[in-house]
């Protein structure tokens, strides 16, 4: 996410490294590189120019304190301007109304249907809501089927009627059903098109008029760059939507849409999709996004994701096993599963300050776990529960069964042994104290 932009901004700031003071010349040179980085990221020229003009004005007029360098000053000014450009603060979704009606709009292929499912799961888990998903795309039976699959996956009911070709009628009947069944949120997934057309806009305007939604969210594929901003502008002129959802922000995107869209349509970005998993949906915080763009990480979001996956009862059982030195491959597999639920591994690494930058050229993703999982799944239940059974013949059988090599199995055994010992030591306060005493003192 934003890797290319982050690298180019970092290079721009290096112009001021070692400079004793801020001057019009070195600021102009830095600002020129920042503008180029933004244009390369597919930010609109008008937005990029306004943004860099503001940075230049603030940098030249700033008093540089003795405690910070011109380079640090420029990073701080750029950070503040990025936060302002993306909206300043988080804007929550409106869940007033009984039921709350949320209309999902966007072009075909933008990720509307998947987002509808993710939003339902988010409202169910985070806000204690009882949502109903509505299949309002009367032109694509596959979209209706997809919504039913997602609904089953996340435990949310789906309302559909394949025989009914009136999106307005479907929406009205779904809301009546929600009132009858006690659903306090209705999420209507509307039809998309490959391009904007008047018929499409009239249809969704009719749905809006018929159901008076509390919230209209416009879903846009972040990978379409500047086209996403132009599409948002057209939709906003007709629908006057309440917020934007950026999908596929975990892909090979230049990020221009995230930086331009608020400025162009004057509507907040409310959510960002960060992966294919149903849990991969983040509330949009401009400050956190600015931190990540400038390579400062996003520890708050990382901790929040970890807390979402935290199971107190499971953690207590694991702690007892660790204390008795009974940590086994079943526990190891469960820990991998929890990490994967938090999101894409490379994305998680990018949330740790400094780590994302250091690992940007390393090929790290969820596939890194596949070999480990294949090896553990090739073990018998007894072997998973008792790692001491792992002799040479068993390791060879596991390597053959998992499609890996003896070396890879041995490497996993070593990693497991080191992890097990470290966890046991951390659970033993006396041993931990001895370890700390044995460590060389810092001079």
Least confident residue range of 18-32, 58-72, 209-223, 260-274: 58-72
The average pLDDT across 398-405 equals: 92
Per-residue pLDDT at 91 exceeds 80: yes
Q: Where in the chain is the domain with CATH 1.20.120.140?
A: 3-85
Give bridge partners of residue 218 from the DSSP assignment.
105, 244
Per-residue pLDDT at 276 exceeds 90: no
Per-residue pLDDT at 102 exceeds 90: yes
Topology of domain 100-296, CATH: Rossmann fold (3.40.50)
Beta strands in 222-330 (DSSP E): 243-247, 269-273, 281-283
pLDDT band at 109 (very low <50, low <70, confident <90, very high): confident
pLDDT at 426: 56
Q: What is the spatial order of strands in the sheet that 131-136 belongs to?
A: 157-159, 131-136, 185-190, 100-105, 215-221, 243-247, 269-273, 281-283
pLDDT at 330: 87
According to the 3-state scheme, what is the secondary structure of 224-239? HCHHHHHHHHHHHHHH
Whether the predicted model's global pTM rises above the 0.75 cut: no
| Euclidean distance between CA atoms 7 and 166, whole angstroms | 49
The average pLDDT across 357-366 equals: 52
Angle at 36 between CA 33 and CA 42, to 5 degrees: 150
| Euclidean distance between CA atoms 115 and 205, whole angstroms | 21
Mean pLDDT over the full length of the chain: 82
Contacts of 38 (CB under 8 A, 6+ apart): 5, 47, 48, 51, 52, 256, 259
Give bridge partners of residue 271 from the DSSP assignment.
245, 283
pLDDT band at 367 (very low <50, low <70, confident <90, very high): low
Say whether the peptide bond before residue 99 is cis (omega within 30 degrees of 0): yes
The average pLDDT across 261-273 equals: 89
Which of 239-253, 267-281, 326-340 tops mean pLDDT?
Answer: 267-281
Half-sphere exposure of 108 (CA within 13 A, CB side): 14
pLDDT at 395: 94
Which of 215-219, 329-333, 431-435 tops mean pLDDT?
Answer: 215-219
Half-sphere exposure of 430 (CA within 13 A, CB side): 1
Residue with more model confidence, 183 or 362: 183
Residue with more model confidence, 430 or 76: 76
pLDDT at 69: 75
Contacts of 171 (CB under 8 A, 6+ apart): 134, 136, 188, 207, 210, 211
Closest CA to 3 of 31, 52, 40, 45: 40
DSSP β-ladder status, 269-273 and 281-283: antiparallel
| Euclidean distance between CA atoms 280 and 248, whole angstroms | 10
Per-residue pLDDT at 431 exceeds 50: no
Which pair of tokens denotes residue 212? 């008076």
SS3 174: helix
pLDDT at 319: 74
Query: Over pLDDT 70: what percentage of the chain?
Result: 80
CATH assignment of 305-438, given 2.40.110.10, 3.40.50.150, 1.10.260.30, 3.30.310.80? Answer: 1.10.260.30
Q: Where in the chain is the domain with CATH 3.40.50.300?
A: 100-296
Beta strands in 155-280 (DSSP E): 157-159, 185-190, 215-221, 243-247, 269-273
The number of residues in the chain equals 443
In this structure, are residues 55 and 81 in contact, taking their beta carbons and an 8 Å threshold? yes
Question: Would you state the torsion angle of the CA atoms of residues 285, 290, 296, 302, taken in this order, to the nearest 10 degrees?
Answer: 20
The average pLDDT across 412-438 equals: 64
Half-sphere exposure of 383 (CA within 13 A, CB side): 15
Closest CA to 256 of 228, 235, 292: 228
pLDDT band at 347 (very low <50, low <70, confident <90, very high): low
| Euclidean distance between CA atoms 210 and 188, whole angstroms | 13
pLDDT band at 242 (very low <50, low <70, confident <90, very high): very high
Query: Over pLDDT 90: what percentage of the chain?
Result: 33
| Euclidean distance between CA atoms 216 and 213, whole angstroms | 7
Tell how far CA 229 is from the center of its chain. 20
pLDDT at 171: 94
Which pair of tokens denotes residue 121? 């799961």
Closest CA to 213 of 181, 233, 192, 188: 188
- pLDDT tens for each residue of 18-51: 776 777 888 899 999 999 988 888 888 888 999 9
| Euclidean distance between CA atoms 90 and 302, whole angstroms | 17
Angle at 128 between CA 123 and CA 134, to 5 degrees: 45
Per-residue pLDDT at 425 exceeds 90: no
According to the 3-state scheme, what is the secondary structure of 377-420? HCCCHHHHHCHHHCCHHHHHHHHHHHCCCHHHHHHHHHHHHHHH
The average pLDDT across 389-397 equals: 92
- pLDDT tens for each residue of 110-132: 889 999 999 999 999 989 999 99
Q: Which CATH architecture has domain 3-85?
A: Up-down Bundle (1.20)
Q: What are phi and psi of 376, to 5 degrees?
A: -65, -40
| Euclidean distance between CA atoms 323 and 300, whole angstroms | 30
pLDDT at 313: 74
Tell how far CA 102 is from the center of its chain. 21
Q: Where in the chain is the domain with CATH 1.10.260.30?
A: 305-438
Q: Where are the alpha helices (DSSP H) in 61-98?
A: 70-85
């Amino acid at each position: 996410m934003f890797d290319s932009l982050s690298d180019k901004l970092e290079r721009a700031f290096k112009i001021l490294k070692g400079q004793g003071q801020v001057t019009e010349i070195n600021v102009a040179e830095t600002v020129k590189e920042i503008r180029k980085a933004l244009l390369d990221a597919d930010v609109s020229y008008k937005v990029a120019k306004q943004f860099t003009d503001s940075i230049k004005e603030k940098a030249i007029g700033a008093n540089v304190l003795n405690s910070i360098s011109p380079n640090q000053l420029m990073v701080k000014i750029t950070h503040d301007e990025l936060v302002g450009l993306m909206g300043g603060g988080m804007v929550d979704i409106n869940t007033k109304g009984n039921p709350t009606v949320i209309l999902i709009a966007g072009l075909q292929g933008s990720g509307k249907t998947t987002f509808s499912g993710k939003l339902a799961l988010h409202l169910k888990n985070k806000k204690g809501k009882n949502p109903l998903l509505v299949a309002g795309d009367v032109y694509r039976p596959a979209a209706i089927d997809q919504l039913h699959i997602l609904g089953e996956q996340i435990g949310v009911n789906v309302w559909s009627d394949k025989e009914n070709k009136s999106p307005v009628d479907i929406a009205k009947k779904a809301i009546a059903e929600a009132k009858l069944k006690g659903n306090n949120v209705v999420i209507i997934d509307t039809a998309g098109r490959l391009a904007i057309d008047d018929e499409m806009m009239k249809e969704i305007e009719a749905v809006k008029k018929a159901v008076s939604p509390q919230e209209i969210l416009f879903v846009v594929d972040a990978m379409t760059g500047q086209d996403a901003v132009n599409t948002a502008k057209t939709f906003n002129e007709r629908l006057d939507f309440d917020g934007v959802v950026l999908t596929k922000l975990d892909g090979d995107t230049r990020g221009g849409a995230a930086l331009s869209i608020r400025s162009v349509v004057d509507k907040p970005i409310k959510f960002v999709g960060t992966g294919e998993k149903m849990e991969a949906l983040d509330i949009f915080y401009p400050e956190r996004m600015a931190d990540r763009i400038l390579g400062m990480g996003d520890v708050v979001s990382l901790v929040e994701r970890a807390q979402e996956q935290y199971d107190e009862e499971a953690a207590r059982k694991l702690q007892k096993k660790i204390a008795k030195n009974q940590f086994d491959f079943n526990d190891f597999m469960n820990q991998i599963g929890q990490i994967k639920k938090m999101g894409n591994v490379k994305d998680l690494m990018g949330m740790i300050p400094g780590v994302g930058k250091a690992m940007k050229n390393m090929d790290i993703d969820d596939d890194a776990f596949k070999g480990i999982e294949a090896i553990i799944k090739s073990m018998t239940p007894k072997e998973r529960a008792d790692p001491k059974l792992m002799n040479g013949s068993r390791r060879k059988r596991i390597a053959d069964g998992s499609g890996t090599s003896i070396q890879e199995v041995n490497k996993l055994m070593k990693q497991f042994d080191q992890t097990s010992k470290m966890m046991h030591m951390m659970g033993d306060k006396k041993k931990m104290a001895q370890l700390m005493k044995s460590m060389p003192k810092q001079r």
